[in-house]
Amino acid sequence: MHIGILGPVEARSPDSKIAVGGPRPRTLLALLAMRVGEIVPLDRLVDELYGAEPPNDAANALQGQVSRLRRALGDTSLIEFHPAGYRLALPASQVDAHRFAAVAADGRQALEQGDPQAAESLLSEALQLWRGPALADVALPDHATRLEEQRSAVEGSLTAARIRLGKADVAEIQDLVRRTPLDERLRGYLMQALNQQGRQAEALQAFEDARALLADELGTDPSPELRAVHLQILRGQTHRELPAQLTNFVGRQEELARIASLSSRLITLTGPGGAGKTRLALQAAGPGAIFVDLAPAKDVAAATLQALGLKETVLEPEDRLTLALRERDALLILDNCEHLIVQAAQLAGLLLSTCPSLRILATSREALGITGETLCPVPPLDPEQSVALFADRARLVNPAFVRDRHTVDICRELDGLPLAIELAAARTRTLTTEEIADRLNDRFRLLTKGNRAAAPRHQTLRAVVEWSWDLLSEDERDLAACLATFSGGATLEAVEQVCRHDFEVLEALVDKSLVEANDGRYRMLETIREFCSQHRRVDAEHATYFQELAGRADPELRQRDQVRWFTRLTAEHANLMQALDWTTSNEPAQALRLVRDLAWYWYVKGNRTEVEGAARKLLALVPEESTEEYVILLALADPERVLGRFAGLSGPIRQPFVLIAWAMLSGPPDPAAERTPLQDEVERSADPWIQGLIGFSNSYTGWTVRGDRPLAIAQSREALRIFQDLGERWGSAQVLDVLATLTEDPAEALALTDQALRAVAELGAQEELAELRGRRADRLLDIDEAQAERDYLQALEMATRAGLAATRALANTGLAKISQRRGDLGRAEELLLEAQQELGFGWMHVAAKEQVEAALSELARTREARSR
């Protein structure tokens, strides 16, 4: 059932029009339809139906009208009786007046949001619901007037949309003006429509007609809004509307909030090509802004004149713009300023100084660089927004698209760059996300099919980066290509020594959004780096610099300043691995020295899985030799083969990692075994770090072999003093752990363990953190079982991340003991068997295996005792 009141009152079933009846049933239906879904009070209905002279029994008379209307509609349930009145039980969408209001509201919203095309479509749809004057055949003049006012307002909004689209019908507007001659908004629309058709004289006359009528009828002058239209026409202004957007705007809430909060009259959105600066500017500006696209332009002032709809005259373009904008409260968007940066800066400076109510929102890959400018960087999208953008664009070409883990990988690999993400999403029509992710190592070939209607520089990923490259000077290109060699970014020192360019050139690349500067490091987005690296490589110079850095860093890693040096090497990890990869392929002897210098850093940071693969690659390329460097490489690449080589080394030992690897792989020395010359030489070493290590080793082995606790404690405290004098956290933590084992005071053992944990945490030593967390749990087991369980779980998680099978096995053994204490023998056995399966080669694995087997034996005894 559909009810119509926008014209003669009517009711329609799905099949045909329904004969409602005479004036009173039609009036009753109209009254109920205007408040469809609501209860209309009885007295209101009586007043509207019968006016000032209702019948003596008005309630019965109303009930009779309702009965007749129900019979006419053929469905008594459509009009419900309630003690307070009657209700038309239909959805609002089935009454034309309510449908009109809803569609019109959507149209006005589209107009306010700067989409006149959608607004015209919706507002036209709303007006097509009218079949004539409202309530044409019933006597409800107040209601009819209200509906006609709504119709007039929508007609005005439709006219505004068509003016923005440049296709307003002058005759239609003239007809509206004749119907409501005192409506100044319509008078303004008429002036604008005439001016758009080149009928400027008629437009100016329309203003004079309005001025005379307002004076005669109301005794007032035209409103400020109408006078502003008059002034625009006098100046020849008809500015271009903002481009309507064809896709949803995703993310950027933080940037939008920042732009909205700024009071500066010049805001410049800066960022690399494809970051979405233009789209953000349009979203932030809202309707009414003046949009100037400078990408195809050669002259900024001329392009701005064209955007304003101004013709060039004998005046200079800058003077013409000043006259046009001097008294306007306007927002000017200067888009894509980078290739005309000087012109854009000069024009912006002139207009801001001569037009006090003007604001400028610029987009550029570098700042305009004038007084009063506020920069708003447009960074890559964060991971959540990147995935949301990819999914939104993918569904445009593949409605069945569902995001998966590869979606996240793609967005991360594309640096969160909106244009790159949109180009990749367009590929989901023919490729799976896994196939797209696999092909991103050749992203410039993959991401080539963009929007054919976009500017050429935005149709492919290569084109958008090439646009920036072409704007660089020769020195800037050379430095960009050199900097692209760095896979992990670079410090200023590294840039200067490897690339050999002045800081001013680097600063220019930062200003032009090719390079990001953050915390003393200079980086490129991966997409930009890949493009620039195709032009020139400096791999040999890069490898030499990081070889020297590793050599300088190694001794510092065991001194007071070790935290800073560990932090520095961690920041350079990607570059160090890149240098190792290049030297392995090109200079294996140099790679062997680099492995030696990085061995201690790798060991403390726990990079064993990544390093093992690189070490195996190098091991296959270098000849066998009895050198410290080769033993280190073998310990990293193939530890099962290295044990027999330690004894063949001749001192002095330059890299202490050799001693650590020896101890870890062979275990505590056998007191009955014959001493080797190397052991004697190590004992005589004057290196305080090695002396601390020897004291730590002697205390541990003395306790485990001879059981002399006081001597072991004394030796440990002396070793601790040596390490603390050096400011060496790793060595201190090892000795603190031994002291925690030696003490008979549980509280002291925990305090010493916590002190050791704090020391290795400063270094970010993942393996030691996992091992010490597990031992802390061991020491808590009989004190606080719940906390011990939490520590075991934390140690298990950390060991899993670091790839430490022995530490995982020990953590699971501890958890098994807790399960056994709680009576869950099945869970305990499950954990112990899992631990047993993880253990393999090496002394630490052998020691862990002993603990696992002891726990299994204890579990078996518990089961046997229960079965008796």
Q: Looking up tokens 């009586």, which residue turns up?
A: 46
Based on the fold, state whether residues 103 and 146 are members of the same structural domain: yes
Based on the fold, state whether residues 492 and 547 are members of the same structural domain: no
Each residue of 148-181: pLDDT tens digit?
Answer: 999 988 988 888 888 877 778 888 888 888 988 8
Q: Is the pLDDT of residue 451 over 50?
A: no
Give, for 511, the enclosing helix (H) or strand (E): helix 503-511
Average pLDDT over residues 237-255: 72
Q: What is the pTM of this model?
A: 0.62
Q: How many separate domains does the chain show?
A: 6
pLDDT score, position 274: 78
pLDDT score, position 846: 80
CATH number where 346 lies = 3.40.50.300
Which is it for the CA torsion 8, 10, 14, 18, positive or negative? negative
Based on the fold, state whether residues 855 and 741 are members of the same structural domain: yes
Average pLDDT over residues 70-79: 87
Based on the fold, state whether residues 29 and 62 are members of the same structural domain: yes
- Domain termination residue (choose one: 332, 362, 377): 377
Q: Is the pLDDT of residue 242 over 80?
A: no
Determine the Cα angle at 717 with ends 711 and 718, to 5°.
90
The domain in which residue 147 lies consists of 1-166
User: For residue 371, which amino acid is it?
Assistant: T
Based on the fold, state whether residues 563 and 593 are members of the same structural domain: yes
b/e per residue 440-469 (b: at least 16 CB within 10 A): beebbebbeebeeeebebbbbbbbbbebbb
Average pLDDT over residues 692-702: 82
Task: Tell me the C-alpha distance between 555 and 534, whole Å.
Answer: 37
CATH number where 813 lies = 1.25.40.10
CB atoms within 10 A of CB 722: 21
CB atoms within 10 A of CB 353: 13
The least confident of 285-294, 310-319, 611-620 is 310-319
Average pLDDT over residues 361-390: 89
| Band (675; pLDDT cuts 50, 70, 90) | low
DSSP 340: G
- Best CA proximity match to 497, nearest among 452, 436, 538: 538
Based on the fold, state whether residues 705 and 851 are members of the same structural domain: yes
Q: Which residue has the higher pLDDT, 313 or 361?
A: 361
| Band (443; pLDDT cuts 50, 70, 90) | low
Q: Compute the 3-state secondary structure of the chain and give helix, strand, coil in percent, each to the nearest 5.
A: 65, 5, 30
Residue 185 within any structural domain of the chain: no
Average pLDDT over residues 389-398: 85
- Domain termination residue (choose one: 522, 537, 552): 537
pLDDT score, position 453: 39
Q: Which of 225-234, 375-384, 768-777 shows the highest mean pLDDT?
A: 768-777
Q: Which of 190-194, 564-568, 642-646 shows the highest mean pLDDT?
A: 564-568
Residue 509 within any structural domain of the chain: yes
pLDDT score, position 458: 46
CATH number where 479 lies = 1.10.10.10
Mean pLDDT of the chain: 85
pLDDT score, position 450: 47
Q: Is the pLDDT of residue 426 over 70?
A: yes
pLDDT score, position 508: 85
Residue 235 within any structural domain of the chain: no
pLDDT score, position 449: 54
Q: Is the pLDDT of residue 583 over 90?
A: yes
Based on the fold, state whether residues 99 and 158 are members of the same structural domain: yes
Q: How far, in whole angstroms, is CA 346 from its chain's centroid?
A: 34
Each residue of 625-645: pLDDT tens digit?
Answer: 878 888 888 888 887 787 767
Q: How far, in whole angstroms, is CA 158 from its chain's centroid?
A: 38
Each residue of 476-504: pLDDT tens digit?
Answer: 888 888 988 888 888 999 999 998 888 88
Average pLDDT over residues 652-663: 78
Residue 15 within any structural domain of the chain: yes
620 contact partners, CB below 8 Å, separation of at least 6: none
Q: Is the pLDDT of residue 240 over 70?
A: no
Percent of the chain predicted with pLDDT > 90: 29
699 contact partners, CB below 8 Å, separation of at least 6: 711, 712, 713, 714, 715, 716, 719, 735, 738, 742
Cβ pair 230, 242 in contact under 8 A: no
823 contact partners, CB below 8 Å, separation of at least 6: none
Residue 181 within any structural domain of the chain: no
Q: Is the pLDDT of residue 244 over 70?
A: no
Q: Is the pLDDT of residue 669 over 80?
A: no
Based on the fold, state whether residues 684 and 793 are members of the same structural domain: yes
Based on the fold, state whether residues 139 and 92 are members of the same structural domain: yes
- Best CA proximity match to 518, nearest among 496, 495, 538, 490: 490
Q: Is the pLDDT of residue 265 over 80?
A: yes
Average pLDDT over residues 672-692: 74
Each residue of 833-844: pLDDT tens digit?
Answer: 998 888 876 667
| Band (708; pLDDT cuts 50, 70, 90) | confident
Residue 312 within any structural domain of the chain: yes
Determine the Cα angle at 638 with ends 632 and 640, to 5°.
105
Each residue of 506-531: pLDDT tens digit?
Answer: 888 888 778 888 888 888 777 777 77
pLDDT score, position 457: 46
pLDDT score, position 456: 45
b/e per residue 233-263 (b: at least 16 CB within 10 A): bebbbebebbebeeeeebbbeebeeebeeee
Q: How far, in whole angstroms, is CA 376 from its chain's centroid?
A: 16
| Band (461; pLDDT cuts 50, 70, 90) | low
Task: Tell me the C-alpha distance between 387 and 445, whole Å.
Answer: 22
Burial class (CB in 10 A: 0-12, 13-18, 19+), 499: buried
End-to-end, the C-alpha distance of the chain in Å comes to 83
Helices (H) and strands (E) in the chain, counts: 43, 14
Q: Is the pLDDT of residue 599 over 70?
A: yes
Based on the fold, state whether residues 521 and 653 are members of the same structural domain: no
pLDDT score, position 553: 94
Q: Which residue has the higher pLDDT, 758 or 115?
A: 758
Each residue of 6-52: pLDDT tens digit?
Answer: 999 999 988 888 888 888 899 989 999 999 999 999 888 888 888 87
Give, for 527, the enclosing helix (H) or strand (E): helix 526-532
| Band (113; pLDDT cuts 50, 70, 90) | low
Based on the fold, state whether residues 395 and 372 are members of the same structural domain: no
Q: Is the pLDDT of residue 219 over 60?
A: yes
DSSP 239: P
Q: Which long-range contacts (CB under 8 A, 24 or more apart) does 467-475 make?
A: 467/273, 468/272, 468/273, 468/338, 468/365, 468/512, 468/513, 468/514, 468/528, 469/531, 469/532, 471/338, 471/339, 471/365, 471/512, 472/509, 472/512, 472/514, 473/508, 475/501, 475/505
User: For residue 672, which amino acid is it?
Assistant: A
Based on the fold, state whether residues 669 and 740 are members of the same structural domain: no
Q: Which of 205-219, 541-555, 657-671 shows the highest mean pLDDT?
A: 541-555
- Domain termination residue (choose one: 332, 356, 377): 377
539-556 and 562-571 helices, crossing angle to 10° = 160
Read off the tokens for 531.
């493009």
Let me know how long the chain is. Answer: 868
Task: Tell me the C-alpha distance between 251 and 62, whole Å.
Answer: 57
Task: Tell me the C-alpha distance between 164 and 185, whole Å.
Answer: 15
Each residue of 78-92: pLDDT tens digit?
Answer: 998 888 899 999 999
DSSP 667: -
Strand 521-523 relative to strand 516-518, pairing: antiparallel
Each residue of 88-104: pLDDT tens digit?
Answer: 999 999 999 999 999 99
If DSSP states are collapsed to H, E and C, what string results for 565-590?
HHHHHHHCHHHHHHHHHHHHHHCHHH
pLDDT score, position 349: 93
Percent of the chain predicted with pLDDT > 70: 91
Residue 62 within any structural domain of the chain: yes
Residue 200 within any structural domain of the chain: no
pLDDT score, position 246: 64
Q: Is the pLDDT of residue 606 over 50?
A: yes
User: For residue 12, which amino acid is it?
Assistant: R
CB atoms within 10 A of CB 765: 22
